[in-house]
DNA sequence: CAAGATTGAAAGCTCAATCTTG
DNA sequence: CAAGATTGAGCTTTCAATCTTG
């Protein structure tokens, strides 16, 4: 028994291990080099990509792989470090905008190459072009399914 | 600039998101159903697969994706819950064996189907057979590289 | 009351230091 | 002194409760 569809399990197991090993190696390199931690980098990245270099806390949390709560504290720390600043919206005073400062932009430009090199060294270097392509399309489908599930929850407790 | 080799970065990004979304969904299902947390399940799994249902703390930590420290505490909690027991080796009294109890085996058999169903639902279901195969071979290569790096560190500080 | 965001308490996880045995 | 394992301290992350505004 239990010999049915090992393919899915094998793929899952491989991803689990690859993700953890690569992530730890990349993060260790960044830390060793005195760069900002990966979580901070992720925030800088998303803000850099956003129009005006700013994003609502809500949106930021959705883009970064962290809980809303965590992003709130993270943003406070980064604001204290001068990489971003937080400001309330004029019209809807419930929303808060996290905005990149010049210092934040500088830090992002400084860290990005190291981060990209880490991905290359610890991950991409071991893959062929065809494999990269398949990984991207396949895992993007998985993500799409989860994103759809978030939009249509439908299974809360009453 | 920076338009070179987006393929590796895209694949990385897709894996990051897919891993997190799937993992959270699977874990949430397990928790909601009153099963043991994923970390406990992983320990049960590795012990089940090990000859005699037992493993040194060291070996266990290597197989599970957690630090040695964490596994030590985890094993204590699981022992307190009666799922495993810890016992010193007779010959080399430095090593400790974590051993599955009957209760632990039962819990594993109970949780396994749910876990496998979670992987299927939140991950495998979105992939073709060909994609699963490529994911497995590709990511296994990544893992092999990291395993090799661990065996031959060679880059410590003096 | 609902939505956006933050805070308090607690669990998860890791690093460095320590204990014990070979 | 080195290897196996644990412990203390501290950071990270989350859940539930709270505050504020629409």
Q: What's chain B's Rg over C-alpha atoms?
A: 19
For A71-114, write each residue's pLDDT tens digit. 999 999 999 999 999 999 999 999 999 999 999 999 999 999 99
Give the gap in angstroms from C-alpha A83 to the nearest C-alpha of chain B: 23
Are A15 and B17 inside 8 Å of each other by CB? no
**Distance between CA B79 and CA B101 in Å, rounded?**
9
Give the gap in angstroms from C-alpha A20 to the nearest C-alpha of chain B: 7
CB distance A61 to A71 below 8 Å: yes
**Distance between CA B27 and CA A19 in Å, rounded?**
17
**Distance between CA B46 and CA B63 in Å, rounded?**
7
Q: According to the model, what pLDDT value does residue B23 have?
A: 93
* pTM (two decimals): 0.89
For A27-64, write each residue's pLDDT tens digit. 888 888 888 999 999 999 999 999 999 999 999 999 99
A121 CA vs C18 C1’ separation (Å): 36
Identify the CA nearest to B107 among candidates B43, B44, B49. Answer: B44
**Distance between CA A36 and CA B29 in Å, rounded?**
34
**Residue in A with minimal Cα distance to B10:** A136
Nucleotide nearest to A66 (CA to C1'): D13
The DSSP line for chain B is ---S-HHHHHHHHHHHHHHHHHHHHHHHHHHHTT---HHHHHHHHHHHHSGGGEEEHHHHHHHTTS-HHHHHHHHHHHHHTTSEEEEE-SSSTT-EEEEE-HHHHHHHHHHHHHHHHHHHHHTGGGS-HHHHHHHHHHHHHHHHHHHHHHHS------
For B84-134, write each residue's pLDDT tens digit. 999 999 999 999 999 999 999 999 999 999 999 999 999 999 999 999 999
* A147 pLDDT higher than 90: no
Are β-strands B54-56 and B84-88 bridged in parallel, bridged antiparallel, or unpaired?
unpaired
C-alpha torsion angle, residues B122, A131, A62, A149 (rounded to 10): -30
- The nucleotides of chain C lying under 7 Å from a protein CB are 3-8, 12-16, 20-22
The answer, for B122 touching chain A at a CB cutoff of 8 Å, is yes
Identify the residue whose tokens are 């987006």. Answer: B6
**Distance between CA A37 and CA A27 in Å, rounded?**
7
- Count CB neighbours of A126 within 10 A: 20
- Count CB neighbours of B7 within 10 A: 17
Q: How many residues does this entry show for chain A? A: 158
| Reported confidence tier of residue A154, pLDDT bands at 50, 70, 90 | very low
Q: According to the model, what pLDDT value does residue B153 have?
A: 52
For B80-90, write each residue's pLDDT tens digit. 999 999 999 99
Structural tokens at position A8: 């899915």
CB distance A137 to B128 below 8 Å: no
Positive or negative CA dihedral for A101, A31, A124, A19? negative
Q: How many residues does this entry show for chain B? A: 158
């Amino acid at each position: 028994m239990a010999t049915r569809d090992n393919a899915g399990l094998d793929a899952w197991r491989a991803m689990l291990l690859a993700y953890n090993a690569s992530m730890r190696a990349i993060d260790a390199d960044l830390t060793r080099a005195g760069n900002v931690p990966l979580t901070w980098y992720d925030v800088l990245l998303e803000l850099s990509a956003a129009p005006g270099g700013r994003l609502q806390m809500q949106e930021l949390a959705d883009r970064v792989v962290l809980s809303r709560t965590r992003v709130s504290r993270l943003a406070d720390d980064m604001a204290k470090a001068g990489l971003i600043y937080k400001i309330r919206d004029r019209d809807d005073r419930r929303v808060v905008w996290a905005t990149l400062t010049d210092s934040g932009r500088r830090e992002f430009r400084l860290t990005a190459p190291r981060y990209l090199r880490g991905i290359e060294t610890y991950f991409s270097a071991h893959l062929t072009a065809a494999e990269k392509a398949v990984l991207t399309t396949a895992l993007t489908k998985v993500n799409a399914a989860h994103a759809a599930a978030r939009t249509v929850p439908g299974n809360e407790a009453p």
